[in-house]
Amino acid sequence: MTVETLIIGAGISGLSTAWQLAQAGCSVAVWESGARLGGKIATDYDPVSGYTTEQAASMVLNFRPEVSRFLQETGLESCKLIRSPTTKRYLIHQGQLREVPMTLSGLLLTPLWSWPAKLRLLLEPFIMQQGHANETVAEFVRRRLGSEMLDKALGAYISGTLASDPEQASAQAILPRLTALEQRYGSLTAGVFAHKVLNKKQASETEGFSFQGGMSALVEKLAVGIASKIHLQHKLVAVSPEHNGWSVVAQTPTGEKSLWVRNLILTTPAPATAQLLKYFDKPLSELLTGIQYAPLSVVHLGVKKDNIKHAVSGTGFLTPPKEKTVINGSMWMHSLFQNRAPTDHVLLSNYLGGARHPEVINWDTQQCIDSVTQELQDLLGLSGHAAWAKVDQHAQALPLYHGHYMQRQQQIQQCLRQHTGLYLQGNYIGGVSIRDRIIQAEKLAQVILSKTASHSAQTATHHETTIPINR
């Protein structure tokens, strides 16, 4: 059977797109250079110690109906593992953990922010719109909410969750929901009020979940439905436009493999994609080369509960950029999901590096473990050493939506309009979360299916007008 659409890369972007196209009857294939599926998504279970860890994404946070529908259609809904209802979360404040208030009264009483900062927050509805197209997260938050909210709250989210620098990250790209509220309603407060009151019936609650067996179950479930279409150890080495389509060459264990396809989808990281495209579109290649990535090290520590003085029954903590700790954030996985740690033990997954401390990627395993252990001794009252430890390192963990990101994306799309049938689907476009990747996959699948239907209709019309009629 002729392959109509070829997807390069079997991470969540590639697999989600392939699944959507296959379900619609599209002829599709997936080439993956490695020997396993999932990209950075991988769940590891240590049968000796009893700990279950995630190498990268640890859960899905969803508030979009498209993702809910996708989970239903793929059968993943029945595999969901909802996170524990614990609401406690913490920030480091002056070297100590402080609980983040989740109510208005708690916000007014918390020592996290000064009274001038709290009053400044209450003035948000009266702040005029004065943003600009390339406004950074730091500029946006200071303008709307004040400096303390950036320094002690949202800055921690940007650097801890997205591994980015709030002083460089694009507000429109990183905080699309907040910037959209300002554009539509004039203020964040008015926007939130309108959504809660006027759109309450349409609003979706944010739900956090993993899957039975961990995040790898997401990859495995998608792969089952398209197993015959996936080809591992197929490394794309050459791409060229040819006859209204694309000629591709891959290196495989049995030699070179060539193929012509009408649609080519590249889900590879920006630097790798740039190398593939540089021979026929240098400007596009240079735009992709300019996208930077943050390195990330994840240090998992298994600890006996009796060896920790601080309560670890919440979601974890984030670190504001001005705090002097190497840990950007810590997720208390034993508290979020069942069966992540043996009885009477806790599992703390700590995130290091990012744009805040990129040099950490050069540390060896022991240095990472020692640094995290020392900081948790101060923050959590950890006594002694961890009972178990594991480190996952990613030199190119997350793309940074820094600088004139939106302008760069517009230029990339302009270049792509010159190449019919070529699509870029990496997480450097449209968001880095699993939720974002599923949404982008559905959007791209609809574009390709619409194009295919149009092509089929044109072909049928052409045949009808050229077939001679015998009388």
Q: What is the pLDDT of residue 233?
A: 98
Residue 14: which of 394, 424, 462, 338 has the closest Cα?
A: 424
**Strand, coil or helix: what is 44?**
strand
Q: What is the pLDDT of residue 202?
A: 54
Residue whose entry in the numeric block shows the structure tokens 């349409």: 202
Same structural domain, 287 and 408: yes
Report the CATH number at residue 176.
1.10.3110.10
Which among 202, 226, 256 is the end of a domain?
Answer: 202
299 inside domain = yes
Residue 422: which of 285, 289, 290 has the closest Cα?
A: 285
Strands 28-31 and 230-231: parallel
Same structural domain, 222 and 150: no
Same structural domain, 250 and 341: no
Provide the Cα torsion 449, 455, 460, 463; round to 10°.
Answer: -160
Same structural domain, 113 and 198: yes
| Whole-prediction pTM | 0.92
Same structural domain, 33 and 51: no
Q: What is the pLDDT of residue 1?
A: 53
- 238 forms bridges with which residues in the sheet? 249
Same structural domain, 382 and 336: yes
90 inside domain = no
Residue 57: which of 42, 35, 79, 36 has the closest Cα?
A: 42
pLDDT tens for the 471 residues of the chain, in order: 589 999 999 999 999 999 999 999 999 999 999 999 999 999 999 999 999 999 999 999 999 999 999 999 999 999 999 998 877 999 999 999 999 988 878 888 888 999 999 999 989 999 888 888 899 999 999 999 999 999 989 999 999 999 999 999 999 999 999 999 999 999 988 888 887 776 555 556 789 999 999 999 999 999 998 999 999 999 999 999 998 999 999 999 999 999 999 999 999 999 999 999 999 999 999 999 999 999 999 999 999 999 999 999 999 999 999 999 999 999 999 999 999 999 999 999 999 999 999 999 999 999 999 999 999 999 999 998 899 999 999 999 999 999 999 999 999 999 999 999 999 999 999 999 999 999 999 999 999 999 987 766 665 554 444 444 443
Residue 250: which of 416, 452, 428, 261 has the closest Cα?
A: 261
Which among 179, 202, 225 is the end of a domain?
Answer: 202
Q: Which domain holds residue 134?
A: 101-202
Tally of domains in the chain: 3
Same structural domain, 436 and 304: no
Q: What is the pLDDT of residue 466?
A: 47
Same structural domain, 349 and 366: yes
Report the CATH number at residue 249.
3.50.50.60
d(CA 289, CA 272): 9
Same structural domain, 286 and 302: no
Which among 379, 399, 419 is the end of a domain?
Answer: 399
Same structural domain, 127 and 185: yes
